[in-house]
Each structure stands twice: as C-alpha cells, then as structure tokens.
Amino acid sequence: MSTAKGTALVTGASSGIGAAYARRLAAEGWDTVLVARRAQRLDDLARGLRAETSTTVETVVADLSAPDDLARVAGRAAGEDIGFVLNNAGINGYGPFAALEPSLLRKVLDVNVLAVTALARAAVPGMLARGRGTLVNVASQLAFAGSLPPGPLPERAVYAGSKGYVVTFTRTLAAELSGSPLRVQVLCPGLTATEFHRSRGEDPVPGREPTVHEEGGTPVGEVIDASLAALDAGEVVCVPGLPRYAPVTSLERAELALRTASRPAR
C-alpha cells in the first residue's frame, strides 16, 4: 500500500549514506526507489525496509555512468509520485591527475556531475507543478579543499572539481527556486564511516555485507541527522559537524566581493 508522503528516489542506495538515508525516509513513511549497481545489496535493503516499515520499495539496478541506465532512472525520477530525490551516487577516482585513466575521469564526471544534473532536471518540473518536493544533492567537504595539498588529503583534482560543481549548481538552483515550495540542499559530509574509500569507482566494492574503510569517520546517522535538521531550518548548504552557519554566510559575502570587484568605481 502506498504511503501518504509519496516516494523518495535514492541513488547510491546499496551502502553508506544512501542506504542509511533510505532507511530513515522509509521509517518516516516514504515509499522508496533504490538505485545502485549491486543487485544483491539492493534486494537485501529492500527486503528489510518492507519488513520493518511496510512501505513500498522498488529497486533499480543501474550504473549512472551508462547513458541508457541514466535515462531509465531519469524517467523514474520524473514520476508523479516522486516527492524526494537524494542524489547520493558518487565515485572518487582519486589519483594524480596526469596519471588518471581517461575512462575513469569520464566516469567520475558522468556520475558526479551529469547524473546529478539530469536527475534533478527530471524531478524538479513535476515537483514544481505539484507544489511540493525535496532535492538533496550530496557533495563533499572536499569541494572546499581547493589549494590544500595532498597528504593527508587525497589526490583529488577531478573529484573535488566535480563536487565543487554540485555545490555551485545546488546553491544557484536554490536561489533560482527561492519562493517556490521546493526544499533544495547540498549535503557536504567530511570523512564518513562508509566503504567509499575502498574503491576508486571503476567497480563497486565486492561482497554482500556492507563494510567501512580503514579511515573510519563520522557515523552515517549523524550525517543524516544534520541533513534533515538543515532541511527543517531551510539551510541550503549542510556541512555536518559545522557548529554554526556563519562560515557559509562569510563565503556568500566573499563571493559578493569577488563578483563586484570589476565594477567601475563611481
């Protein structure tokens, strides 16, 4: 039986932030569409959600770097029941830029940039027409790492650049949609206790049981708590662990100064 809240589409749902966010949404009464590359992981999660919450759960096995798969997921994101989209799928492609395989570079951009944009574009028009909806795009604190050198940070030029796009895209879209009934957020977690660092992204981490990379990090539940609290507060940029919103406001002031720097003096 369909729930009253509608349906949430979650990409990268086979582990980590995606799986945990899907559990939280289902517990709150959302039906879910779970999207990822690993069919067994999706089936396990779906079985658990149905048993624990009695919600409707769909699974879509898809590689968002593949055009046909992305088109299938975009078609589902445009569905009339979709009220929440979590663009969480992402790969890191870490490595020195000069040595990064072009095929992996392309995959990072396809998943982290193109898929995020395409799925947002698929979902937003219907949400606007229905007068409600939530879009959460997952970026990274590395989007703000800029000129900080590797060590301890990874070699990350393409990954950080792709997540910088997600931050700018989401903030600019939120400004465009200001005054509409939609909630738009960019979620920028730091190191999180998931398996994200166990693969560069060419292939998913093997195995049916979720794991955690050796680096550890913030518990996933705390990241989701921060995201949901920020949505309730109407904050577009969510950086879990940031005690105050002041740094984001300072960033906005710095951007204004940069944009107005070339205006002729009066």
Residue 186 bridge partners (DSSP): 137, 237
Distance of CA 109 to the CA centre of its chain: 14
Closest Cα to residue 134, out of 223, 248, 6? 6
Length in residues, the chain: 266
Rounded distance between C-alpha atoms, residue 102 and residue 211, angstroms:
28
* Sequence-ordered list of residues with C-beta below 8 angstroms from that of 197, at least 6 positions apart, any chain: 92, 213, 214, 215
What pLDDT is stored for residue 153 in this prediction?
93
Rounded distance between C-alpha atoms, residue 147 and residue 179, angstroms:
35
CB 227 within 8 A of CB 136: yes
Two structure tokens written together for 132: 């409600």
Q: Would strands 182-187 and 133-138 be described as parallel, antiparallel, or unpaired?
A: parallel
Burial classification of residue 143, based on how many CB atoms lie within 10 Å of its CB (0-12 exposed, 13-18 middle, 19 or more buried): buried
pTM for the model stands at 0.94
Query: Domain-by-domain residue ranges, the chain?
Result: 7-260
Rounded distance between C-alpha atoms, residue 211 and residue 233, angstroms:
32
What pLDDT is stored for residue 266 in this prediction?
66
Q: 11 by DSSP, 3-state: which?
A: strand
Q: Would strands 133-138 and 57-61 be described as parallel, antiparallel, or unpaired?
A: unpaired
Tens digits of pLDDT across the chain (266 residues): 445 689 999 999 999 999 999 999 999 999 999 999 999 999 999 999 999 999 999 999 999 999 999 999 999 999 999 999 999 999 999 999 999 999 999 999 999 999 999 999 999 999 999 999 999 999 999 999 999 999 889 999 999 999 999 999 999 999 999 999 999 999 999 999 999 988 898 888 888 888 898 888 999 999 999 999 999 999 999 999 998 889 999 999 999 999 999 877 66
Rounded distance between C-alpha atoms, residue 263 and residue 242, angstroms:
34
Two structure tokens written together for 70: 């992305």
CATH, domain 7-260, list 3.40.50.720, 3.20.20.140, 3.40.50.170, 3.90.1300.10: 3.40.50.720
What pLDDT is stored for residue 1 in this prediction?
40
> Which of the residues 21, 159, 165, 245 is marked catalytic?
159
245 is catalytic: no
What pLDDT is stored for residue 207 in this prediction?
87
